[in-house]
């Protein structure tokens, strides 16, 4: 994960929290977590996050996000789950 993709992903997620500057993140070893958002992420932002390398650990993904159609990326989104990326 590049620094730019990491920062861009957080910027995409930030407005979806009621308190954009609250405690919505965590980390374990080489994985960074953004907790579930308080409102669903818009479909266009879901695609952007996935293309930046962010994923939802508890959601099955069928392959390479760079090659997946946008509709598939949107269908695989679960608003009840958080987002993650590897460092």
Tokens of 65: 């996000």
Q: What whole-number distance in Å separates Cα of residue 68 and Cα of residue 49? A: 13
Confidence (pTM): 0.88
Per the listing, tokens 């409102």 go with 39
**Are residues 17 and 37 in contact, defined by beta-carbon separation less than 8 angstroms?**
yes
Domain count, the chain: 1
pLDDT tens figures, 40-54 = 999 999 999 999 999
Per the listing, tokens 């080489």 go with 30
Q: Which domain holds residue 30?
A: 3-86
Is 19 in a helix, a strand, or coil?
coil
- pLDDT: which is higher, 60 or 16: 16
**What is the enclosing helix (H) or strand (E) of 6?**
helix 3-13
Residue 38: the pLDDT is 96
Is 63 in a helix, a strand, or coil?
coil
CB count within 10 Å of CB 5 equals 15
């Amino acid at each position: 994960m590049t620094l730019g993709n990491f920062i861009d992903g957080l910027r995409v997620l930030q407005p979806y929290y009621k308190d954009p500057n609250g405690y919505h993140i965590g980390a374990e070893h080489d994985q960074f977590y953004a907790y579930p958002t308080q409102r669903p992420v818009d479909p266009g932002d879901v695609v952007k996050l996935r293309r930046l390398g962010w994923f939802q650990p508890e959601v099955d993904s069928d392959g390479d996000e760079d090659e997946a159609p946008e509709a598939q990326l949107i269908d695989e989104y679960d608003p009840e789950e958080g987002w993650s990326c590897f460092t």
